[in-house]
Amino acid sequence: MKRYLFLLLLFCSASFVFAQNFEQFFENKTVRIEYKHIGNSQMEKIEVENYRVGGIWEGTVTHLVEPKRMGGLQFEVFDALSGQLIYSRSYDCLFNEYRTTERGEKEVGTFEECVRFPLPKQMVKYKFTSYDRHNVPTELFQGVFDPQSTAYEPMRKEYKVKNLHIGAKVNDALDILFIPDGYAKSDKKKMQEDFKKFTSYIMNCSPYKEMADHVNIRAIEAYSKESGITNPNQNVYKNTLLNCSYNVIDLDRYLMCLQVWKMHAIADDAPYDFIVLICNSDKYGGGGIYNFYCTVNNVGDYSDYVIVHEMGHLIGGLADEYYTSEVSVRDFYPEGIEPVEPNLTTLVDFDSKWKNMLDADTPIPTPATKENKDKLGVYEGGGYVAEGVYRPMMDCTMHKIMYNRFCPVCLKALQEAIMFYSK
């Protein structure tokens, strides 16, 4: 009992220190840096274009520095005077996928990206670092932001926001924001129905269902000039709010948005930790990138599965557990390197993954037999690779088209992410 009390006190005092840090270093406003990520498989660089300041700070005020890096990019903010690290986030981006494709080997691509952090009270230094699949860091950019002298544009309010599920206050919840693309004014009714439908898909899926008090879902009501979504393979081109498109980085069902700055400018109107783009199209598709954004098409038998699967990438940093696919990214999980994603292992550092969740008698690797159908184990095949990469269960929502069937390892990663944003 005493031990628990001690742990509780320790936890309270740690939260107190974190909360104090927020007051000490930050105002209750948000800074957004808009930058370009430029390069190919051989080189990459970042060019910062604009700073935007406005709104309130909607993220967590207790977890300012993340406990461990989860994505291929890391953004860090340091107090300029003391050099203390006061904010950090890791994430992934479309550029990192582009550079592993055939086109990305030769052609230089330019991709819009954004990072957000609370408005600092004093001058800060910030740094972007890129990690390759061998976990080798490269510093991409160092900059200075001084709230007294750096020129910035204000964020603007333009759109109506609809509350769909409110579990807690903004700083105490994982805030999900839907932005619609490809809905014309005449699609108003459909848009409202889709917002409700996708909210129920999320809230009826574990772990969101059990953690409903820690989740908020809102939507921006915004219309496109034309109805539908661009699909270059069929010569369909639509003028839409965010110009989302299929066949991004040459993968037919990969439905993504390249106008990331505009996406965040629209999102400024609502509190958000994560953006989900709801695309008005009956063609199966979607995409999700850790701490970046995700997309889903609105029609079809599988859209309940697609949204929670893509949100698995977006929020939990989860990898695809399938290994037979048309995915055009290559060499994603090199030999001898433990992946950063929580639901894959190469057994190089399995202790850091789900080893402590296994029954003591579980063979490693675990044979994919009928008897093991529902057993947590270490099954070969995952992350687009058939050999040398292992996943936790034979089946999971990150493995095949199955709604609400996250394996225990994926569930745990999502629960931790929800708690990270709701304290």
Of 7-15, 139-147, 294-302, 389-397, the window that binds Zn ion (rule: CB under 5 A) is: 389-397
**Pair of tokens at residue 240:** 């839409």
Phi (first) and psi of residue 62, to 5 degrees = -105, -40
Size of the site for Zn ion (CB under 5 A): 5
Is 343 near Zn ion (CB under 5 A)?
Answer: yes
Integer angstrom CA distances of residue 194 from 174, 191, 200: 21, 5, 10
**Minimum gap (Å) between residue 68 Cβ and Zn ion:** 19
Nearer of residues 114 and 396 to Zn ion, judged by Cβ: 396
Nearer of residues 51 and 302 to Zn ion, judged by Cβ: 302
Is 407 near Zn ion (CB under 5 A)?
Answer: yes
**Minimum gap (Å) between residue 86 Cβ and Zn ion:** 34
- Of 126, 120, 72, the C-alpha closest to 100 is 72
Q: What is the dihedral of CA 272, 199, 244, 305, to 10 degrees?
A: 120
Of 98-106, 168-176, 209-217, 343-351, the window that binds Zn ion (rule: CB under 5 A) is: 343-351
Contact partners, residue 9, CB within 8 Å, separation at least 6: none
Of 6-14, 137-145, 276-284, 402-410, the window that binds Zn ion (rule: CB under 5 A) is: 402-410
The separation between CA 248 and the C-alpha centre of its own chain, rounded to angstroms, equals: 18
Q: Among 211, 219, 256, 398, which residue interacts with Zn ion (rule: CB under 5 A)? A: 398
Is 410 near Zn ion (CB under 5 A)?
Answer: yes
Nearer of residues 192 and 372 to Zn ion, judged by Cβ: 372
Contact 277, 355 (CB under 8 A): no
Q: Among 396, 413, 417, 418, which residue interacts with Zn ion (rule: CB under 5 A)? A: 396
**Half-sphere exposure of 383 toward its Cβ, with a 13 Å CA cutoff?**
27
d(CA 131, CA 113): 16
Nearer of residues 283 and 399 to Zn ion, judged by Cβ: 399
Residues making up the chain, counted from first to last: 423
**Minimum gap (Å) between residue 397 Cβ and Zn ion:** 7
d(CA 35, CA 124): 17
| Torsion over CA: 381, 386, 388, 389 (sign) | negative
Nearer of residues 118 and 383 to Zn ion, judged by Cβ: 383
Of 17-25, 139-147, 251-259, 395-403, the window that binds Zn ion (rule: CB under 5 A) is: 395-403
Of 39-47, 114-122, 203-211, 339-347, the window that binds Zn ion (rule: CB under 5 A) is: 339-347
Output DSSP code: residue 187.
G
Other C-beta atoms lying within 10 Å of the C-beta of residue 81: 10
Is 340 near Zn ion (CB under 5 A)?
Answer: no
Site for Zn ion in 119-148 (CB under 5 A): none
Q: Which H or E run contains 262? A: helix 260-267
**SS3 call for 42:** coil
Is 211 near Zn ion (CB under 5 A)?
Answer: no
Of 28-36, 98-106, 140-148, 388-396, the window that binds Zn ion (rule: CB under 5 A) is: 388-396
**Minimum gap (Å) between residue 245 Cβ and Zn ion:** 29
Where along the sequence are the contacts to Zn ion (CB under 5 A)? 343, 396, 398, 407, 410
